[in-house]
Amino acid sequence: MSGSRSGAIVIEPVTERVRGLAGATVLVDTRNAVLLHEGSRVPVYYFPLKDVVDGVLVPTGHSSHCPLKGEASYYSVRLPDGRIAQNGVWRYPHPVAGVEAIADSVAFYPHVLDRIVRGDDLAA
């Protein structure tokens, strides 16, 4: 696995198209995602903030700290069915050294996206 390293973190660039869907609605569509591997945790996709559909994310005042990544800020997510996923997305606007690749990106909690599709075929 290639990519940048910070302690137990490995960041792997994803070279193909990646989309995150809630139901049949695409919330994020990018060719610039990275996959963050952190120890034994499930890998997490980080999507460029600019590739999230406009109007989906609502900033909140929630924050948290990770010693391996830095200070996180959060967004609630407006879902296609009208529900709001409170603090369903996080980002590290100023990550610690070694994980700068996630600075302009967001990650969705698993309950927010019904599926993530790699490649151009949504049927995958």
Q: How many domains does the chain have?
A: 1
pLDDT of 24 reads 93
What pLDDT score was predicted for residue 2? 53
Query: Are the beta carbons of 20 and 27 closer than 8 angstroms?
Result: yes
**What is the structure's pLDDT at 123?**
72
Over residues 20-45, mean pLDDT: 96
Q: What CA–CA distance (Å, rounded) separates 117 from 27? A: 12
pLDDT for position 6: 55
Asked whether residue 123 is assigned to any structural domain, the reply reads no
Confidence (pLDDT) at 5: 54
The pLDDT value given to residue 104? 95
Q: Indicate the average pLDDT of the chain.
A: 93
pLDDT of residue 61: 97
Q: Does residue 30 belong to any structural domain of this protein?
A: yes
Give the CATH number of the domain where residue 67 resides: 2.170.150.40
3-state secondary structure of 51: helix
> Does a structural domain hold residue 72?
yes
- 124 is a domain residue: no
pLDDT tens digits along 43-99: 999 999 999 999 999 999 999 999 999 999 999 999 999 999 999 999 999 999 999
**Residue 41: domain span:** 4-118
CA distance 66 to 41: 14
Rounded CA gap, 65 and 73, in Å?
9
What are 59's two structure tokens? 């900033």
